[in-house]
A and B are shown apart, each in its own frame.
Chain A
Amino acid sequence: MKKSLIPLGLFLALSCTLALGLARPGSDEVPSPLVGKPVPAFQLSHLDNEKKVFTPADLKGKVWVLNVWASWCVSCRKEHPVFLELGQRKDLILVGFNYQDARDSGLQWLKKHGNPYRLTVFDEDGRAGMDLGIIGVPETFVIDRQGKVRHKFTGILTPELVQTRLLPLLKELQGA
């Protein structure tokens, strides 16, 4: 009798392990191999001026945040209030990354929903986005004074994440 319960016990243990794994928050998140490495040296034009070129080296020595968005991205609209608020902080450099979009649509989107970014770069074909390992939008990168990627947020940056992760990290990086 007791022995026949062993397979059942094993089965239940396996089920519990799998269920816990599935329910674990962020279990479908892919850690970025970019974290801890220098941000890729892409060269992109500004969204509002195709003659002006931006490259991450321009911000060397500064802590900055790169937010990947697109006018066709619904979640970006949802997270945008967070960036509007962050944009008011004087000590923070926000750079927008308009991913696989049309220049007009991108500019209109910023006009309609507000523009918190110091500048926005325009990645029309997504090739620079590939170097950043962008899987979907929105994504947000934190880059330190040495030009290294220190963190990547996949998906919507919630006010909670700002409080618990982003702000403490920025404080640490700016202090360094």
Chain B
Amino acid sequence: MLEGRALLAAALAGMLWLVGMAEEASAALGGQEAEVAQVAQVAQVAQGARQAGDTSLDERAQRLAQELRCLVCQNQTIADSHAELAVQLKAELREQLRQGATDEQVRQFMVDRYGEFVLYRPPLNLTTALLWGSPLVLLLAGGGLFLAHVRERKRALQGLPDSQLPDALDGDCHEAENDAANEGRGST
């Protein structure tokens, strides 16, 4: 019983993690489609779109700047940084967007010059596989340890005479449930 719940919780946590990844991927795809639509719109109703587009341009520039690393002060985004290079890159980024570049093109511009290191959200490839995969590995390892622990406890409790069981088991059971729930929440 206890074991079954733990297994369920671990599976649930794993699924939540996968859903999180899928959501992120679809968000990235959705963003790209929206850009294409935006560019098409600008082409169709150039005048009107340009006037209304300035605030959305600022927003896009700001959003992009927030996912690019400032190379001078490496733990800041170029949106946060006031370093000269960051200010310059922000201006360049905005100008490129104004001329109709997509977010992806701007990102590529930065990667070509400063390397993948500029991306605060690293792409999934061979060099970053460990980075992306480690949460799953840790989750499995943690789940395994947890299961082993539960099993061991169960075996120990089964060795006891019936009269000593109920109180202790009840308390422990709740604790295990909470642990499992927390683990699921923490990993998303």
A-side interface residues toward B, CB under 8 Å?
28, 30-34, 100, 126, 130-133, 135-136
Contacts and interface: CB of A to CB of B under 8 A. Distances in A.
Contacts of A28: 74
Contacts of B89: 130
B127 to A, nearest CB: 11
Q: Binding site of A, secondary structure by majority: helix, strand, loop or mixed?
A: loop
B170 to A, nearest CB: 26
B113 A131 contact: yes
Interface in B63-77: 71-72, 74
A135 B70 CA distance: 9
Give the residue among B72, B89, B115, B117 with the most A Cβ atoms within 10 A. Answer: B115
A30 B88 contact: no
A135 B111 CA distance: 13
Interface string B85-115: 1001100100000000000000000011111
B114 A100 contact: no
Give the residue among B88, B89, B111, B117 with the most A Cβ atoms within 10 A. Answer: B88
A30 B72 contact: no
Interface of B: 71-72, 74, 84-85, 88-89, 92, 111-117
Contacts of A131: 113
A132 B117 CA distance: 16
A38 to B, nearest CB: 12
A39 B26 CA distance: 36
B72 A136 contact: yes
Nearest to A132: B113
Given A33-B112, A33-B113, A133-B113, 17 more contacts: A30-B71, A30-B117, A31-B115, A32-B115, A33-B111, A33-B115, A33-B116, A126-B88, A130-B88, A130-B89, A130-B92, A132-B113, A133-B115, A135-B71, A135-B85, A135-B114, A136-B72
A135 B89 CA distance: 11
Nearest to B74: A28
Contacts of A31: 115, 117
Contacts of B74: 28
Nearest to B84: A100
Nearest to A125: B88
Contacts of B114: 30, 33, 133, 135
A130 B113 contact: yes
A119 to B, nearest CB: 24
Contacts of A126: 85, 88
The 8 closest A-B pairs by CB, nearest first: A133-B113, A135-B71, A33-B115, A30-B117, A133-B114, A30-B115, A126-B88, A31-B115
A135 B72 contact: yes
Contacts of B113: 33-34, 130-133
A30 B88 CA distance: 19
Give the residue among B74, B111, B114 with the most A Cβ atoms within 10 A. Answer: B114
A17 to B, nearest CB: 13
A52 B24 CA distance: 51
Nearest to B92: A130
